[in-house]
Amino acid sequence: MANADVTVQRLTKRYGTNGRTVTALSGIDLTIRAGSVVSIVGSSGCGKSTLLRIVAGLDTDYEGTAALGGARIRGPGLDRGMVFQEHRLLPWLTVEQNIAFGLNGLGAAETRRRVEEHLELVGLAAFARAYPGQLSGGMSQRVAIARALANRPEVLLLDEPFGALDALTRIQMQQEVLRIWQADRTTMILVTHDIDEAIYLGDDVVVMSARPGTVRTVIPVELPRPRDRNSQPFAEIRKRIHAEFFGDGSAGTAYVI
Amino acid sequence: MTAAGDILEVRAAPRLPRLNLGRAGRWAFAAAAPVLLLAVWQALYALGVVRPILLPPPTRIAATLWSLIASGELPRHVGVSALRVLEGFALSASLALALGVAIGLSRTLDRFLDLLIQLVKPIPPIAWIPLAILWFGIGEEAKVYIIVVGGFFPILINTIDGIRQTDTRFVELAKLLEVPRWKFIRQVVLPGALPPIMSGLRIGLNVSWMCVVAAELIAASSGIGYLIMDARQLSQTDVVLAGMATMGVLGKLTDDALRLVERRLITWRTSFGGV
Ligand SMILES: Nc1ncnc2c1ncn2[C@@H]1O[C@H](COP(=O)(O)OP(=O)(O)O)[C@@H](O)[C@H]1O
Ligand SMILES: [Mg+2]
């Protein structure tokens, strides 16, 4: 479905806070092929959210370029959908109203059709009329994904979407995202601090380092899906990523990330 | 995950030990404080501690209340005051809500009117009474005017605050989803502002009752305020207190009505109810 690459070139982002400037991102070069899933891992504060916000168009004050399908990103647009760590559902709207919140100018019949289709997609058709306060964390996040996908974006941006969920729900959600991606091949950029999640879902895992945020390395994950977290090749990739953060030695006293 | 079973997860919150009463028990518990007050008051009378001319016992006041109701005098005054409150509150609420929403949404309008509001707001409603009499005489308009002035500002300020407190994360979300302005106001701004707006309405209604009595105390020939003032001139302390008690009950009942509306409108909120 998606047919536009995301390209980021020599991207540098500085924040000026009371006289001091913080370089959040420095010289980022990345190409995310249309239809692929790219995971981004990195320690907290290394600029992952900043990068996603720039691609989303929420932050347009930066150096370098960020483009979708060759066109420079100048602001938010329906060709990009976003899911945040908190579900960000409107508490006073029902599940179906929350999904319809992002559907504008489509006409009543098409809106209803899209809402139903995406409720079905995330398996929550039975909860169309429930309020967010009645849902579990995992269900809320699935509604947020449905809302982000309802406009059929080229790119889905996920900023630590499962970070607040328990370990078991998180794995279920990863399987769910995989299923959704296999169904329509929307390009996905997934920020996570869960290394297994990054490997399980990503075609590539981008490893970032902090202060200033740079791309340390990009590790391709050439394993067939669904991936077995306990398999030998999976473990080897996990080990490589660990080595990027902690060094090769298993001394356990590596620098704090 | 899709099973209906996980729709409500019940969490065991740590709790302070608390009294576990049934519905009737809670009523009785809540009624105990006023009943206790009346009992002490009655006892002071029985012991001869207070002079009945200054503070008649509850039994006397109850008897007075009863005869005032039976004669139709109290219902007539209540009706007059309630109508004034209703008219004044309806006016102040519609004006303050409309202006509050407009100011909340428009920076320009806010900058234009802010100083004026800050200067007029501190003038107590009572201070408007002489002017209202000069303008409208002692007719109905003067009282309604005082009520409008009194209820207007609490509703206005709460409405503006509520709109200003719109969650910036939702503003960002609406930007991402290209939600049209009107839909944003209807589905994000107004529902989010509803709790403070309801608080403002409740305060406004409360102030409206205060204003009607204040206006009637000074210049009126009917209404509860007039009843109280008239009784004072005749040294009928029991009637004064009966009028005051009526005020308390009326204020509570109308506040209850607004709380009911609030609960109907704000079904999503799960707020802290006290330990
Ligand atoms: N609005 C902001 N103003 C100033 N500094 C910011 C702002 N947002 C983020 N930063 C800084 O930029 C760096 C990267 O932040 P962020 O992108 O949120 O990191 P991550 O998502 O990887 O944890 C951090 O050092 C953070 O303090
Ligand atoms: Mg972040």
Query: How confident is the model at residue A55, as a pLDDT?
Result: 95
- Residue A256 confidence (pLDDT) above 70: no
Q: What percent of chain A has pLDDT over 70?
A: 95
Residues of chain B contacting A101 with CB distance shorter than 8 Å = 177, 179, 183, 187
Query: How far B179 CA lies from chain A's nearest CA (Å)?
Result: 6
Look over chain B and give the mean of its residue pLDDT values, rounded to a whole number.
90
A138 lines ligand 1 (CB under 6 A): no
| Ordered structural domains, chain A, with CATH | 6-79+153-256 (3.40.50.300)
Residues of chain A contacting B170 with CB distance shorter than 8 Å = 88, 90
- Note whether A162 and A86 are within 8 A (CB): no
The interface pTM score, or ipTM, of the predicted complex is 0.89
Query: How confident is the model at residue B270, as a pLDDT?
Result: 59
- Residue B250 confidence (pLDDT) above 70: yes
- Residue B57 confidence (pLDDT) above 60: yes
A84 lines ligand 1 (CB under 6 A): no
| Ordered structural domains, chain B, with CATH | 56-263 (1.10.3720.10)
> What's the mean pLDDT in A38-55?
93
Backbone φ, ψ for residue A21 (5° rounding): -110, 135
Q: How far is the CA of A87 from the centre of ligand 2 (A)?
A: 14
CA distances from B79 to A36, A104, B222 (A): 73, 50, 10
Look over chain A and give the mean of its residue pLDDT values, rounded to a whole number.
90
- Residue A251 confidence (pLDDT) above 80: no
Among candidate residues A1, A170, A166, the one with its CA nearest the CA of residue A158? A170
> What's the mean pLDDT in A105-127?
92
Looking at the complex, does the CB of residue A85 fall below 8 Å from at least one CB of chain B? Answer: no
Looking at the complex, does the CB of residue A66 fall below 8 Å from at least one CB of chain B? Answer: no
Most confident of A164-173, A197-206, B1-10, B125-134: A197-206
Q: Please name the residues in contact with B220: beta carbons below 8 A apart, sequence gap of 6 or more.
A: B138, B143, B226
Looking at the complex, does the CB of residue A128 fall below 8 Å from at least one CB of chain B? Answer: no
Strand extents, DSSP E, A2-124: 6-17, 20-32, 37-41, 63-68, 71-72, 80-83
A44 lines ligand 1 (CB under 6 A): yes
Nearest CA to ligand 1 atom 7: A15
- Note whether A40 and A192 are within 8 A (CB): yes
